Amino acid sequence: MDHDYALGPDPTVVDLVLEENASLREEVRLLRQQIESLTLTQRFGIHRFAASDKDIRFFTRFASYDLLMRFWALIEPSLPSMVSVRQAQRGTLTESTTAHSLQPINELFLFLNYLALGSKQQDLADRYRIHQSTVSRIIMSWSNFLYTVLGSVRIRIPQEQIRKNLPADFKDFPDTTVILDCTELRCQCPSSPVLQSEVFSSYKSHCTLKGLIGIVPHGAVTFVSSLYAGSVSDKQITRECGLLTLLKPGMAVMADRGFLIDDMVPCKIYRPAFLSGRSQMSACEVKETQDIARLRVHVERLIRRVKEHKLFDSEIPLRLFGSINQLYTVACLLTNYENGPLVKAWAKKPED
């Protein structure tokens, strides 16, 4: 009887074991779900910071998660036409069947991290757990994509629309169509003395790249020039950048004292007055100069918003010269989507 192997197990015991086994399987399944959910939450990407507008502002320069999602909704329909760097290198425009390392929205988030924080590619590779070469391809692909998509949007505003939305501060200059200013980005000095002389800026006492930005009185960017060598004058950039073809009689340009473009533009220019050898200006000229200086500062506020993208805080390395024009233009155009009005008081104005 001690070795009677023909006897079967007690059915009650079998049922208990099976129930325990099923219970353990369910616990394992729930534990896996919790781990996957925790991993998704902790993984570096846009969904990790969706609940914090402060974090979104820090990592992307967009004022809120809602604004970023509105921008995403605008560009998402164009994603099928996006050509990656790898596709361009292979000479094919067909959609790649290779799985992406990141979701498209997280690729955009990575690109915005690069612009907003000036993050190094190795740092981004560690954060997103991808190869550094993949980070480089994502940055290049998205800079070209956004340069094309945002560049295809008509940012020039009709003169009638500008006057309709003219802030009250511009009541003495109602025909102002565009406010102009140039900005400079510090860049690495080339080894060639000839190239050094071309990009050296006497104003900054450093090698720079210079671009012209134009905004309408209510603060929207309506013109972005290409970047030029730092030695080029403001007048020369204005002549070559294509802005003059957009100006018509009846318009007015507001600019700084150094924009001596009277002989080139077909319209009026509002500019602080020169003493021109006189001992003092008249009371009328003083008031007009003060008013123009107070209003012209809005374009400097816009430029400050562009340079809040920390990529432009440090010297632009020579290796980025092939793509810096796209990166700079995208940063300028993004200011139309990232922020509210330049002046908070304008946001309180009731809508018509």
Tokens standing for 104?
A: 């498209």
Buried b or exposed e, range 54-84, using 16+ CB within 10 angstroms: eebbebbbbebbebbbebbeebeeeeeebbb
Residue type, 227: L
Q: What percent of the chain has pLDDT over 70?
A: 85
Mean pLDDT of the chain: 86
pTM exceeds cut of 0.85? no
Average pLDDT for residues 312-329, to the nearest whole number? 94
Average pLDDT for residues 59-69, to the nearest whole number? 95
Residue 134 pLDDT more than 90? yes
Are 178 and 214 in contact by the 8 Å Cβ rule? The answer is yes
Nearest to 314 by CA among 190, 188, 218: 188
Nearest to 345 by CA among 221, 222, 219, 223: 219
pLDDT, position 289: 86
Helix, strand, or coil here: 323? coil
Band of the pLDDT at 97, cuts 50, 70, 90?
A: very low
Are 225 and 211 in contact by the 8 Å Cβ rule? The answer is yes
Residue partners of 209: CB distance under 8 A and separation at least 6? 184, 185, 187, 199, 227, 228, 229, 230, 316, 324, 328
pLDDT in tens, 201-260: 998 999 999 999 999 999 999 999 999 999 999 999 999 999 999 999 999 999 998 888
Give the separation between CA 43 and CA 128, rounded to whole angstroms: 8
pLDDT, position 2: 64
Residue 7 pLDDT more than 70? no
Average pLDDT for residues 57-69, to the nearest whole number? 95
The DSSP 8-state label assigned to residue 204 in this structure reads T
Are 254 and 292 in contact by the 8 Å Cβ rule? The answer is yes
Residue 37 pLDDT more than 70? no
Residue 98 pLDDT more than 50? no
What does the domain layout of the chain look like in residue ranges? Answer: 51-151, 159-347
Band of the pLDDT at 101, cuts 50, 70, 90?
A: confident
pLDDT, position 346: 63
Residue 149 pLDDT more than 70? yes
Strands 221-224 and 228-229: unpaired
Average pLDDT for residues 21-48, to the nearest whole number? 75
Helix, strand, or coil here: 122? helix
Residue type, 221: V
Give the separation between CA 21 and CA 13, rounded to whole angstroms: 12
